[in-house]
Amino acid sequence: MELALYCPEYGYYEKERDSVGRGGDFHTSVSVGALFGELLAARFADWLDTIRTGGVSASTTEGENNGRLFLVEAGAHRGDLALDILNWFKRERPDLLSELTYVILEPSPARQKFQAGRLGEFASCVTWCSGLDPGSVRGVIFSNELLDAMPLSRARWDAGRREWREMGVAFDGETFQWELMPGAVAMPIPLPEPLLAVLPDGFTTEWSTAATEWWNRSARALKCGWLVTFDYGLEWEDLFDPCRSNGTIRTYHRHRLGDTPLAHPGECDLTAHVNFSEIRRVGEEAALVTDYYGRQGAFLAGIAGLAGKGTGETPVWTDQQLRQLRTLLHPVGFGDSFRVLAQRRA
């Protein structure tokens, strides 16, 4: 997965062509239109106000960045979400924008270049980095469809031996194939005995140590504020439902869903469901408090419902915004299968 997506020469995400949106391989909440970014911006502005007024306190040891507010986006891809958010701040909250640094966490130099081109208008408040120092962020660290795109391990249950066998990738000079690695592999969190007793032989699953490590590092980077992610995923017990006996790895090519991830490396998106139980646990272990875990539709509806509150005015929505809102809230689309995890360092 790592090479197919991130190899500097052939990796799927290293290419400039549009992979997201109608002309690409898959849609995201961002490619639905500007409304997703506008709703997030409204929520983030609320959170930043809370931090500014001391509702979420910074530590007593004053760091050099203590007065500055940060929005840190990871997995910014083409920079579309950044643009929607920054445009909203420019229009609605110029006071906050002047106190804000928008940081894009982007390890790929090629992607940094594409994003810089897209965000030229906001050059004075956008910066890039490839990692965050512990305790360096006062603000919000967020991502949309980042964790599902991280490298993962895949394993198959051997019911006779009662052990997991890791699945490696072999190359015969022409094609790639799954191949069982020698010896047993330990899962990061062992499954309960009653579940293992009934798990059928050959049940296949996957886990992403990269995703949990990323969440742990981001949690530790947060001095005060929120860590939030939007993605499709499940809790651990749902990942072992009989209907997922082949795991959740999928490919997307030209909006077609596929289940042969080794067939066209570098030419299609590869993704797997996020294990939200694990991510949540890692954040709580790093002393974050879970503010929200649930369906994306409900989270966004909560923000949309706030529009106009306090002014006594009914919010005015354009037809285009209403169409986008319907898509974002629709149970079959982004509303139900996408989840939001928002954790806070108080």
| Smallest separation, CB 227 to ligand SAM (Å) | 14
**SS3 assignment for the chain:** CHHHHHCCCCCHHHCCCCCECCCCCECCCCCCCCHHHHHHHHHHHHHHHHHHCCCCCCCCCCCCCCCCEEEEEECCCCCHHHHHHHHHHHHHCHHHHCCEEEEEECCCHHHHHHHHHHCHHHCCCEEEECCCCCCCEEEEEEEECCHHHCCCEEEEEECCCCEEEEEEEEECCCCEEEEECCCCECCCCCCCHHHHHHCCCCCEEEECHHHHHHHHHHHHHEEEEEEEEEEEEECHHHHCCHHHCECCCEEEECCEEECCCCCCCCCCEEECCEEHHHHHHHHHHCCCEEEEEEEHHHHHHHHHHHCCCCCCCCCCCCHHHHHHHHHHHCHHHHHCCEEEEEEEEC
Q: How far is the CB of 268 from ligand SAM (least distance, A)?
A: 12
Q: Which is nearer to ligand SAM, 157 or 233 (CB)?
A: 233
Q: How far is the CB of 55 from ligand SAM (least distance, A)?
A: 28
Token pair listed for 308: 């106009």
Instruction: Please report how close the Cβ of residue 269 comes to ligand SAM at its closest, in angstroms.
Output: 7
Task: Name the residue number minimizing CB distance to ligand SAM.
Answer: 75
User: Which residues are CB-neighbours of 245 under 8 A, at least 6 positions away?
Assistant: 200, 202, 203, 204
Q: Which is nearer to ligand SAM, 56 or 139 (CB)?
A: 139
Question: Nearest approach, Cβ of 59 to ligand SAM (angstroms)?
Answer: 26
Closer residue to ligand SAM in complex, CB, 56/147: 147
For ligand SAM, which is the closer residue by CB, 105 or 342?
105
Summarize as ranges the residues that interact with ligand SAM (CB under 6 A): 13, 20, 28, 30-31, 74-75, 77, 81, 105-108, 111, 144-146, 149-150, 214
Nearer to ligand SAM by C-beta: 20 or 222? 20
- Least Å from the CB of residue 130 to ligand SAM: 8
Residue with tokens 């947060």: 222
- 105-108-110 Cα angle (round to 5): 120
C-beta of 75 vs 233, nearer to ligand SAM: 75
CB-wise, 51 or 86, nearer to ligand SAM?
86
CB of 31 or CB of 153, closer to ligand SAM: 31
Minimum CB separation from ligand SAM for residue 215, in Å?
11
Q: Which of 38, 106 has the CB closer to ligand SAM? A: 106
Closest distance of CB 346 from ligand SAM, Å: 26
Q: How far is the CB of 108 from ligand SAM (least distance, A)?
A: 6
Q: What are the Cα distances from residue 283, in Å, to 46, 78, 145, 221?
A: 22, 28, 18, 11
